[in-house]
Amino acid sequence: MKKTASYQIILRPEPEGGYTVIVPSLPGCITYGKTVEQAHQMAEDAIGGYKTLCTRS
């Protein structure tokens, strides 16, 4: 059975448009999306990449 984790994200609107996404529980895990929907998708991708890198170490 696959384990599912849940992460809180912070969406910070940027003055030039779009959203910076910060994952507080994963240091350095930051991404960007032009829309809220894209920001959520990018967050999922960034979290997946972060977890992959952590398991390789």
User: What are the pLDDT digits (tens) for 1-28?
Assistant: 777 889 999 999 999 999 999 999 999 9
Q: Using an 8 Å Cβ cutoff, are 50 and 29 in contact?
A: yes
How much is the pTM? 0.85
Rg (alpha carbons) of the chain, rounded to whole number: 12
Residue 2 domain flag: no
- Write the CB contacts of 13 (distance below 8 Å, at least 6 apart in sequence): 19
Residue 1 domain flag: no
Side by side, which strands form the sheet with 10-13? Answer: 10-13, 19-22, 30-33
Q: Is the pLDDT of residue 36 over 70?
A: yes
- The whole domain housing 25 covers 10-56
Residue 4 domain flag: no
pLDDT band at 57 (very low <50, low <70, confident <90, very high): low
Query: How many whole angstroms separate alpha carbon 12 and alpha carbon 20?
Result: 5
The total number of structural domains in the chain stands at 1
Of 30-34, 44-48, 53-57, which range is least confident?
53-57
